[in-house]
Amino acid sequence: MPCTRRQFLQSIGAAAGLWWLMGLTSCGPTQPSGPIKIGTLLDYTGALAEFGPPLRNSAELAAQHINDAGGLLGGRKLELVHEDAATNPSVALDRAKKLIEIDKVPAIVGALASGVTVPVAQTVTIPNRVLLISPASTSPLLTHLPEDEGKDLLFRTCPSDALQGIVLGKLAAELGYATAAVLYVNNPYGQGLKDEFKRSFERHGGRVVSEAAHPEEVQPSYVAELRQLTEAQPDVLVAIGYPGHATIYLKEALEGGYAKKFLFVDGTKSEKIIEAVGAENLEGMYGTAPGSEKTSSLEIFNAEYQRVYKEVPPQPFMANAYDAVIVLALAMQRAGKADSLAMRDALRSVANPPGEIVSAGAEGMKRAFQLLKENREIDYEGAAGAVNFDAHGDVITPIEIWQYTSGTIQTVRLEMPTE
> Quick check: 110 and 41 in contact, CB under 8 A?
yes
pLDDT-derived band at 16 (thresholds 50, 70, 90) equals very low
pLDDT above 70: percentage of residues in the chain? 92
Domain ranges of the chain: 36-159+294-386, 162-289+399-415
Strand order in the sheet with 262-264: 207-214, 179-185, 236-240, 262-264, 286-290, 399-405, 408-415
| 184 vs 229: CA distance, rounded Å | 11
Bond preceding residue 313 cis, omega within 30 of 0:
no
| 178 vs 337: CA distance, rounded Å | 56
Please determine, for residue 27, whether its predicted confidence score (pLDDT) is greater than 70: no
| 355 vs 344: CA distance, rounded Å | 18
Q: List pLDDT tens digits, range 386-406.
A: 999 999 999 988 899 999 999
> Quick check: 372 and 331 in contact, CB under 8 A?
no
Of residues 169 and 23, the one with the higher pLDDT is 169
CATH number, span 36-159+294-386 = 3.40.50.2300
Spatial CA neighbour of 100 closest among 340, 283, 274, 334: 340
Say what the pLDDT of residue 1 is.
Answer: 44
Spatial CA neighbour of 284 closest among 406, 413, 414: 406
Name, in order, each residue with C-beta under 8 angstroms of 341's C-beta and a sequence gap of 6 or more.
Answer: 129
Q: What's the mean pLDDT when you consider all of the chain?
A: 93
Say what the pLDDT of residue 417 is.
Answer: 84
Say what the pLDDT of residue 199 is.
Answer: 97
pLDDT-derived band at 32 (thresholds 50, 70, 90) equals low
Say what the pLDDT of residue 29 is.
Answer: 44
Please determine, for residue 168, whether its predicted confidence score (pLDDT) is greater than 70: yes
Please determine, for residue 157, whether its predicted confidence score (pLDDT) is greater than 90: yes
Say what the pLDDT of residue 419 is.
Answer: 66
| 385 vs 388: CA distance, rounded Å | 9
**φ/ψ (deg, to 5) at 80:** -95, 135
Say what the pLDDT of residue 6 is.
Answer: 46
Q: List pLDDT tens digits, range 111-152.
A: 999 999 999 999 999 999 999 999 999 999 999 999 999 999
Of residues 9 and 200, the one with the higher pLDDT is 200
- Mean pLDDT in residue range 84-106: 98
Say what the pLDDT of residue 246 is.
Answer: 98
Please determine, for residue 176, whether its predicted confidence score (pLDDT) is greater than 70: yes
Architecture of domain 162-289+399-415: 3-Layer(aba) Sandwich (3.40)
> Quick check: 350 and 377 in contact, CB under 8 A?
no
Say what the pLDDT of residue 83 is.
Answer: 98
What is the residue-wise DSSP string for 260-275? Answer: S-EEE-GGG--HHHHH
Per-residue exposure over 290-329, b if at least 16 CB sit within 10 Å of its own CB, e if not: bbbbebebbebbbebbeeeeeebeebbbbbbbbbbbbbbb
Q: List pLDDT tens digits, range 190-206.
A: 999 999 999 999 999 99
Name, in order, each residue with C-beta under 8 angstroms of 160's C-beta and a sequence gap of 6 or more.
Answer: 138, 139, 140, 142, 143, 394
Sign of CA dihedral 197, 415, 321, 311: positive
Q: List pLDDT tens digits, range 316-343.
A: 999 999 999 999 999 999 999 999 999 9
pLDDT-derived band at 33 (thresholds 50, 70, 90) equals confident
The half-sphere exposure of 148 on its side-chain side, counting CA atoms within 13 A, is 26
Please determine, for residue 269, whether its predicted confidence score (pLDDT) is greater than 50: yes
Say what the pLDDT of residue 19 is.
Answer: 38
Please determine, for residue 28, whether its predicted confidence score (pLDDT) is greater than 50: no
- Mean pLDDT in residue range 16-40: 60
Q: List pLDDT tens digits, range 220-260.
A: 999 999 999 999 999 999 999 999 999 999 999 999 999 99
pLDDT-derived band at 278 (thresholds 50, 70, 90) equals very high
Q: List pLDDT tens digits, range 362-371.
A: 999 999 999 9
Same fold, 36-159+294-386 and 162-289+399-415: yes
Spatial CA neighbour of 122 closest among 142, 147, 143, 104: 147
